[in-house]
Amino acid sequence: MKKETYYKIRKKNIISKDKLLQLHNDFMPEFCEDTIKNIWYKHGYKNESLRTTDGKKVIVLNAGEYNPVDGPDFVNAKIIVDGKELNGKVEVHLKRSDWIKHKHIDNPKYKDTIMHVFFEDDIDKINYNIDELCLKDKIDDKFIEELDIVNNKYVHRKNNLCGKSLFHKDYNYLEEILIASAEVRLNIKSEQFALWFYDKLREEQLLYERIAEVYGYMKNRENFMLLARLLPLKKIRKFVKQYSVGEQKKVIETIFFGVSGFLDGEKFNSENDYWLRLKDNWEKSLKKYFKKTVDKTKWNYYKTMPTSYPERKIYALSKFVSQFVNIHINQHLLNTILLHNESEVLKHYINIFYQPAEDFFANKASFDSKDFGIKMPLFSKEKTYVMLINVIFPYLIYKSKSDDTKKIYDKVMKIYKSINYCEKNKIVKDFISKLIIYPEYRKYFESKLMFSQGIIQLYKDFCYPNKGECKYCKLPEVFKYKPNDSTDNFEFIRL
């Protein structure tokens, strides 16, 4: 199947989705409490429609910070309610009744809560003097879709019509569909670069910011992007030219930790020579040149694996940047793919980003943490594939279109197809189980990065828009009536 064919099928289904939502606009997928907390924290709602349960207008200035100890979920929130600014704690629940169920009424730690946020309004008003906000019907649709893929919370299995419509003899056709949907997914991502790269003179800096964002994973993406903006490549290069090549890596490392805020305050440990050396260099030689820093308290450790703590990833990002003091990132990526064969390109790209377990953070999560007991990569091979599929490949596809260089496009697709890696993603695992009812064939469809990306795109285009309601989904019809790539007639998708 050609990507153009999949685009047409997808467009038909989007039209169908819009009609479906008009008929079923009261249907919402099941959420969990963590998802509602994410929505609150990342402002994933329609601000203009926010009102308390008793009708007061709400403006969220700051959702607050995750509370790591007992008490309300968020602290230091700033909210305007009916024209009055409130500062304090916010508690988030799935259901309104959870306030009673969790016994917050008589708990003094919740006495000064300024807002109770929930998704399901399942009981009458609780008798307490706290403003309440129900988020149902106020969540931004785009944010719901993003959360669904990120948090892997729901893949509905009702009826399982798409799996039942495929027999093992049809799996070659399914493979064609997945390759086409994966290619479409990559092209959709590349379209974002056309929006981001409005200033050609800043193309490398904007690419660097997208790369830095990946180092932040989901919890610290905004902080890493801010760090990249506070430390633009142009400024780093100009500053480190005064140092020898051997000194530049250490200087960049110190600058990154200093601007990140991790070299302020008291000593972590009087025996921590590494941190003391960084702080000494920062205070004596570098701090006066870098006035703006990230607020250290903004770094998020909530539900973050120790191997992904900010300090480790800041160090990894500094090592990445050290490679590009004398060469430009974007030009290096383009030269590599133009001058080498596909296997050499993939190997080189992996070498750029993969960082083994070495130096101070080889077996530590932070400056003051205990040893892991084993050494862990600073930036794993799996995370390198995430970087390629979300930033590097989309950027190269964008360049192939803007510069009309088909050679780049074709090479990217060949490399894409060659990567034997399946994402550890619940969406992928569950949707493969749903599509492939013959277990002996599942392993093959779990073996390629392109297949897993194609499955995610299928899910987003068909399963997600129909809210998991298989009886409304058009995907079984796509499987049942194989289209002809040479025709524009897709009557098998009946609207």
State residue 438's pLDDT score: 77
Burial (CB count within 10 angstroms: exposed 0-12, middle 13-18, buried 19+), residue 126? middle
State residue 402's pLDDT score: 83
DSSP assignment letter at 177: H
Question: Distance from first CA to last CA of the chain, Å, rounded?
Answer: 22
Distance between CA atoms of 390 and 395, rounded to whole angstroms? 9
State residue 368's pLDDT score: 86
165-168 CB contacts, 8 Å cutoff, 24+ apart:
165/476, 165/479, 165/480, 166/435, 166/436, 166/437, 166/479, 168/438, 168/441
Distance between CA atoms of 156 and 160, rounded to whole angstroms? 9
Cα radius of gyration rounded to whole Å, the chain: 25
Distance between CA atoms of 243 and 413, rounded to whole angstroms? 41
Other beta carbons less than 10 A from residue 76's beta carbon? 14
Residues counted in the chain: 495
State residue 17's pLDDT score: 46
pLDDT digit string (tens) for the chain, length 495 residues: 777 777 777 766 655 544 444 433 433 446 778 788 888 988 888 877 799 998 999 999 989 888 877 899 999 999 999 999 999 999 999 999 999 999 898 898 998 899 999 998 888 877 678 999 999 888 876 665 455 433 334 333 344 667 777 777 788 888 988 999 999 999 999 988 877 776 677 899 999 999 999 999 888 999 999 999 999 999 999 999 999 998 999 999 999 999 999 998 765 555 678 999 999 999 998 999 998 999 888 899 988 899 999 999 999 999 999 999 999 999 999 999 999 999 999 999 999 999 999 999 999 999 988 888 899 999 999 999 999 999 999 999 999 988 778 899 999 999 999 999 877 777 888 888 888 877 788 888 888 999 999 999 988 888 766 655 666 677 777 776 665 544 444 343 332
Q: How far is CA 308 from the centre of its chain?
A: 14
State residue 268's pLDDT score: 54
State residue 490's pLDDT score: 38
Handedness of CA 38, 40, 45, 47 (dihedral sign): negative
